[in-house]
């Protein structure tokens, strides 16, 4: 599903619908949870490519039968979302940072967690692998990596 000007003007958000039909078993706790995926970007990006990214990510989750963890780096992946200077080759999962905190969880018999997917370039993935995901999150927060811009090249 696509939501224009959501959660703010000038931003488009995409959300899977149906992934939560699968109940995944959380590592460690054994707790069963369901997830839906969220991608937030600038409005000029091809909605078909963004939808394809979410569908491919959902397929990865179903295949591995394990939910995404908060701030999990998933890579290497086959290139996706063509952008200037190359393609994205991984992603970082996170809480939906651009939304109100109430959006992150739908309370039900089995909770549904909404997980934001940030596509990452090879350089960003290597940075997170070497320096840690927390360092990448700091770079995102400081504006060094604009995760809303799917045409970015991190210099």
Query: What's phi and psi for 57, nearest 5 deg?
Result: -65, -40
What pLDDT shows up at residue 83? 56
User: Interior CA angle at 61 toward 70 and 115, to 5°?
Assistant: 35
Instruction: Specify if 18 maps to a domain.
Output: yes
Residue range(s) defining the domain that contains residue 15: 2-141
pLDDT, tens digit, for every residue of 112-138? Answer: 999 999 999 999 999 999 999 999 999
Residue 54 and residue 41 in contact, taking contact as beta carbons nearer than 8 Å: no
Rounded distance, CA 118 to CA 25, Å? 23
Instruction: Specify if 49 maps to a domain.
Output: yes
Instruction: Specify if 148 maps to a domain.
Output: no
Choice among 4-8, 12-16, 33-37, 96-100 with the minimum mean pLDDT: 96-100
Instruction: Specify if 152 maps to a domain.
Output: no
Instruction: Specify if 155 maps to a domain.
Output: no
Residue 71 and residue 92 in contact, taking contact as beta carbons nearer than 8 Å: yes
What pLDDT shows up at residue 76? 93
Domain count, the chain: 1
Instruction: Specify if 151 maps to a domain.
Output: no
pLDDT, tens digit, for every residue of 36-92? Answer: 999 999 998 888 889 988 999 999 999 999 999 999 999 999 888 765 445 789 999
What pLDDT shows up at residue 80? 82
Predicted confidence band at 111 (pLDDT cuts at 50, 70, 90)? Answer: confident
Instruction: Specify if 147 maps to a domain.
Output: no
What pLDDT shows up at residue 47? 87
- What is the Cα 88 distance to its own chain's centre? 12
Instruction: Specify if 149 maps to a domain.
Output: no
């Amino acid at each position: 599903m696509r939501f224009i000007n959501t959660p703010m003007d000038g931003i488009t958000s995409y959300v899977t619908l149906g992934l939560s039909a699968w109940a995944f078993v959380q590592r460690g706790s054994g707790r069963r949870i369901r997830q839906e995926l969220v991608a937030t970007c600038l409005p000029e990006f091809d909605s078909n490519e963004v939808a394809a990214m979410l569908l491919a990510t959902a397929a990865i989750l179903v295949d591995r039968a394990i939910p995404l963890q908060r701030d999990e780096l998933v890579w290497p992946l086959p290139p996706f979302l063509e952008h200037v200077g190359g393609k994205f080759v991984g992603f970082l999962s996170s809480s939906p940072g651009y939304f109100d905190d109430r959006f992150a969880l739908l309370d039900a018999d089995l909770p549904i967690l909404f997980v934001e997917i940030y596509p990452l370039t090879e350089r960003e993935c290597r940075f997170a692998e070497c320096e840690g995901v927390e360092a990448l999150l700091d770079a995102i927060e400081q504006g060094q990596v604009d995760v809303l811009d799917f045409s970015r090249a991190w210099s």
